[in-house]
Every structure is written in C-alpha cells, then in structure tokens.
Amino acid sequence: MKIIITGGTGLIGSALAKNLAKDGHEVILLSRRIPPSKGYPAGIRLEKWDGRTSQGWGRLADGADAIINLAGENLSAGRWTNKRKQAILESRANAGAAIVQAIQQATNKPRVLIQSSAVGYYGPSDVAWFSEDDAPANDFLAKVCQAWEASTQPVEALGVRRVVVRSGVVLSTRSGALPRMLLPFKLFAGGPLGSGQQWLSWVHVEDEVRALRFLIDTAQARGVFNISAEPVTNRQFAQTIGKVMWRPAFFPVPAFIIRLAFGEMSTVVLDGQRVSTKRLLEMGFQYRFPKAEAALKDLL
C-alpha cells in the first residue's frame, strides 16, 4: 500500500511509519520541519509541506491507499496564551483543509482517511464513562478536537471512507507524556498530581499503532472510535509507576502549584475523562496491553 501520514515525524507518526515500512508498504511522511537526521528505514520518505495547502505534495494523494492525518501544533509545547491557542486551532483546521484539497484534485482518490483526535473531546469528568455517542464539551480542548475532526469531514462526500480516532494519552519512553511523568519517580519524589482522582485514559504506543492499522485494513470501519486501554485514576497510575520502578509514589503535587506553573494548560494533567472502547472491541480489535502495569513493565 501507499500511505501518506501528515505530522508524520511525531511520536505516533514515526512509530506507525516504521511499522508499515517493516511490512513492505510505501510510506510518505509530510512534515513542516524535516529533521536534519532522518534515521528512517527503507520504504519511508519525507516530504515537506506548509501545513495549509496541497501545494507541492498534493499529487501524492492521487493513487494513495490511505491518508492518516496526525498534524497539529503540540498542545504541551508552551503556556496557552491567546496567540498559542489560536495556533493550536488553526494548525489542525488548516492541515485538514489541505488534505481535502489534495483529495478533491486526485483522480484516483484514497480508499480511507484516518482523522486523528483525542478523548479531550468529551471534557473532564470524574464520574462519567464516555462513549463515541456522547456530545462534546465546551472547554478549549474539546473545541480543538471538534475543529480537528470537522476539518476533513468533506472527504466523505467525495466517496472516501473516513475514520475518526479519539485517542487517550499515548505511552512511549521515546517522547510524549510518559517521560515527563517518570522524571519525579526517578528522583524518588513521585506521586499523584492534584487530587489524584482525575481519570487517565491511556494506550501503549504499540496498541495505538495496531489500532490504526486495524482501522485502515477493516473496510467496514467508519465513523468515530475511541482508542484507550483500561482507564485508571491519576493516583492509581502513579502507584503503578512506583511499583514497576520500585520507587515511592506518595509525594503529591498540589493542584495550585501546577496551575501556577502552567496556567490553563494545567488542565491536561489535572483533569481527565474515562472512555469506553466498546465499539473498537466489538469490531474485533484486541489490546496487547489492556492493563497499566503490563504496559509499563513492557515500556520500562
């Protein structure tokens, strides 16, 4: 297969690309910043794009089997000033518009488009159990997810099968949230953040890649799918890290300190949601790491 991945040099894109290339597929990574040292195996090539239009790369969509849209500014790269929030929103909307433009111009249109999103769509709750049918929240993260998902919706009218994936926190030791979570435990100062009661919907990076490939290959898969292993509270996750690393896990970080340090962005760690992946499981997918302890033991 010929597969295009936007935002393909990030954590998920890199892992997915290497997995696909290992099986002999042709993978094209679109990125606004081409890394100076590529380090990608044969079968993967990088193409530069502006993240806003199909200029310079749109021809690649013609005859592609699948496009996976992961593009968007990093949510945790800095404090959420008004300027930063605008950049986060626009980066996702513009990337989706560029993909739609490329598909509109393609003679042989892709069979499937996988549109990335996140469980932040549902908003924070300590009691709800969210399914794909639940309505979006009204906070900033939820609005980002809504804009991200809506950005590629027009391809459905072009006859392209579209799948939206709302992923939990993807765990990897290479990058992302987990290395930051592990640091205090390495210093023997780990513990829950804030109340510790907030839910963490998470997924091992290997299962994230496996789920994406499953949805690419499953022709009857359409619409929204949550991707998350068994959710745990922040306190339970901290205790599990401590157990796996043989480190203490009883040094809490008060919520007000996190809010002082990160401002509105603190919602990423102080708030959470518990999501169901019943739809993905009913489709036939099986998690390799459904439990946090097994996932952390594998990663660490």
d(CA 53, CA 134): 32
Cα gap 253→186, rounded to integer Å: 15
Instruction: Give the pLDDT band (50/70/90) at residue 14.
Output: very high
Q: What average pLDDT score do residues 86-99 get?
A: 94
* Rounded CA Rg of the chain: 19
Please give the pLDDT value at position 258. Answer: 84
> What mean pLDDT, rounded, does the chain reach?
93
Q: What's the confidence (pLDDT) of residue 298?
A: 97
Q: What band does 38 get if pLDDT is binned at 50, 70 and 90?
A: low
pTM of the model: 0.94
Q: What would the mean pLDDT of 252-273 be, rounded to a whole number? A: 84
**What band does 36 get if pLDDT is binned at 50, 70 and 90?**
low
> Is the pLDDT score of 288 beyond 80?
yes
pLDDT band at 213 (very low <50, low <70, confident <90, very high): very high
pLDDT, average across residues 182-208: 93
**Is residue 37's pLDDT more than 60?**
no
Angle between helices 205-217 and 11-22 (to 10 degrees): 60
What DSSP letter does each residue of 148-193 carry, written as one string?
A: HHHTTGGGGGGT-EEEEEEE-EEE-SSSSSHHHHHHHHHTT----B
- The yes-or-no verdict on residue 35 having pLDDT over 70 is no
CB contact at 8 A, 68 and 16: yes
Average pLDDT over residues 87-112: 95
pLDDT band at 286 (very low <50, low <70, confident <90, very high): very high
**What pLDDT score was predicted for residue 80?**
87
Q: Is the pLDDT of residue 123 over 80?
A: yes
- Give the residue, 222 or 269, on which the prediction is more confident: 222
Judge whether residue 265 has pLDDT over 90: no
CA dist list (Å): 197 to 261, 271, 273: 20, 9, 10
Is the pLDDT reported for residue 55 higher than 80?
yes
Q: Is residue 264 predicted with pLDDT exceeding 90?
A: no
CA end-to-end span of the chain = 33
User: Looking at residue 103, what is its pLDDT?
Assistant: 97
Q: Which residues pair with 161 in a beta bridge?
A: 112
- Residue-level pLDDT at 114: 98
Q: Which domains does the chain have, with CATH numbers?
A: 2-168+204-228+276-288 (3.40.50.720)
Share of the chain above pLDDT 70, in %: 98
- Quick one: 199 exposed, middle or buried, by C-beta within 10 A (0-12, 13-18, 19+)? buried
pLDDT at 231: 97
Residue type, 299: L
pLDDT (mean) for 65-93: 90
Asked if residue 233 lies in contact with residue 271, where contact means CB atoms within 8 angstroms, the answer is no
Confidence of residue 9 (pLDDT cuts 50, 70, 90): confident
